Amino acid sequence: GIWDQLLVGQHVVIHGSKGRIKGVIGSKAVHVMKEDERRQLLTYDKMFIDVGAKSADEVKGMGIEVGNFITIDKKLVELVNGLVAGKAFDDRAGCAALIQAIKDVKPKCKVYAVFTIQEEVGLRGATVAGYAVKPTIGIAIDTTIAGDHPNMEPHEAPVKVGGGPVIVAADGRRDSLAGGLIPNPKVKQWIIKTAEEMKIPFQLEVLEGGTTDATAIQLSREGVPSGVIAIPTRYVHTFQEVLSLRDLENLVALLKGLMESELPF
């Protein structure tokens, strides 16, 4: 999900029936808030989108209606040291890596490159794809939480931006890892061995508090041995996520290496 406090003041695009309409998320000015209001966290139900309209009829005439999709209006920004900041790297970065990896690759088996939908609201696309494709092995490509920034303790998120792709050892709920994935050992070791042979730097992680499409794929049909490779990303689920292009390039190389190697089964 998105932390509500990040929303106010953001530029957005409403995808209406008559085209795209720009707006900004507004709220009551802090100057006129009562003392108890100032002490409370600002939640989405106290916000609205201002498109400049003067009436409800004008809004309706613009093609805006209940259920329109709304996206944050942000552009990619280049930082120093090969880092970039932008919206929705979770999981546009995974899509970009997969697109690059399947170019000029010579796989030793049939490869299905699947770009799933609605992972954040129930792994829905992966659930359907797992049944349709009938894979021998499933690999989810996602982002993961990098903690190499102020106000984070190393044990809270040991993964670092620039440290290489992340091979997930387990993920799931924070209290028990329930509802997540414990990767098939042969799949995990296959990924690790490939990275080592190609001299690709990588990191290992137990991710508490989240999961990926691999959780749905592993439960497809009679079960599918699955694993996860992730891109270390700062400020996940904000509108300015940060990652390393070198990590992305190493992920592409690793994916190509896996597709061009013998399966572990």
- Is residue 264 a part of any domain in this protein? no
When pLDDT is cut at 50, 70 and 90, the band that residue 221 belongs to is very high
Range of the domain at 231: 77-259
State the Cα–Cα distance between residues 3 and 1, nearest whole angstrom.
7
Q: pTM for this structure?
A: 0.93
One domain, residues 109 and 231: yes
* pLDDT tens digits, one per residue of 105-117: 999 999 999 999 9
For residue 19, what are the contacts with CB-CB under 8 A and spacing of at least 6? 63
One domain, residues 122 and 163: yes
- pLDDT, residue 1, reads 82
Give the CATH number of the domain where residue 179 resides.
Answer: 3.40.630.10
Distance of CA 60 to the CA centre of its chain: 33
- Is residue 249 a part of any domain in this protein? yes
Domain boundary (27, 55, 72) is at 72
One domain, residues 193 and 237: yes
> What are the catalytic residues?
119
One domain, residues 30 and 104: no
One domain, residues 60 and 186: no
One domain, residues 48 and 148: no
What is the mean pLDDT of the segment spanning 122-131? 96
One domain, residues 121 and 61: no
Flag whether pLDDT at 123 surpasses 90. Answer: yes
- Is residue 182 a part of any domain in this protein? yes
Contact present, 231 and 160 (Cβ < 8 Å): no
- Is residue 30 a part of any domain in this protein? yes
What is the mean pLDDT of the segment spanning 152-170? 96
One domain, residues 231 and 166: yes
One domain, residues 85 and 18: no
- pLDDT, residue 72, reads 97
- pLDDT, residue 239, reads 96
One domain, residues 201 and 223: yes
* pLDDT tens digits, one per residue of 19-72: 999 999 999 999 999 999 899 999 999 999 999 999 999 999 999 999 999 999
Number of domains present in the structure of the chain? 2
Contact present, 243 and 89 (Cβ < 8 Å): yes
Q: Would strands 226-233 and 138-145 be described as parallel, antiparallel, or unpaired? A: parallel
Domain boundary (31, 47, 72) is at 72
- Is residue 64 a part of any domain in this protein? yes
In the 3-class helix/strand/coil scheme, how is the chain assigned residue by residue?
Answer: CCCHHHCCCCEEEEEECCEEEEEEEEECCHHHCCHHHHHCCCCHHHEEEECCCCCHHHHHHCCCCCCCEEEECCCCEECCCCEEEECCHHHHHHHHHHHHHCCCCCCCCCCCCCCCCCHHHCCHHHHHHHHHHCCCCEEEEEEEECCCCCCCCCCCCCCCCCCCCEEEEEEECCCCCCCCECCCHHHHHHHHHHHHHCCCCCEEEEEECECCCHHHHHCCCCCCCEEEEEEEEECCCCCCEEEEHHHHHHHHHHHHHHHCCCCCC
One domain, residues 197 and 214: yes
- Is residue 224 a part of any domain in this protein? yes
Give the CATH number of the domain where residue 41 resides.
Answer: 2.40.30.40
- Residue 185 falls in which region: left (phi positive, over 0), alpha (psi -120 to 50) or beta: alpha
What is the mean pLDDT of the segment spanning 87-115? 97
Structural tokens at position 40: 């409370």
- Is residue 13 a part of any domain in this protein? yes
Domain boundary (50, 72, 94) is at 72
- Is residue 265 a part of any domain in this protein? no
Residue carrying the six token digits 């494709």: 133
One domain, residues 248 and 122: yes
Flag whether pLDDT at 166 surpasses 90. Answer: yes
CA atoms within 13 A on the CB side of 187: 21
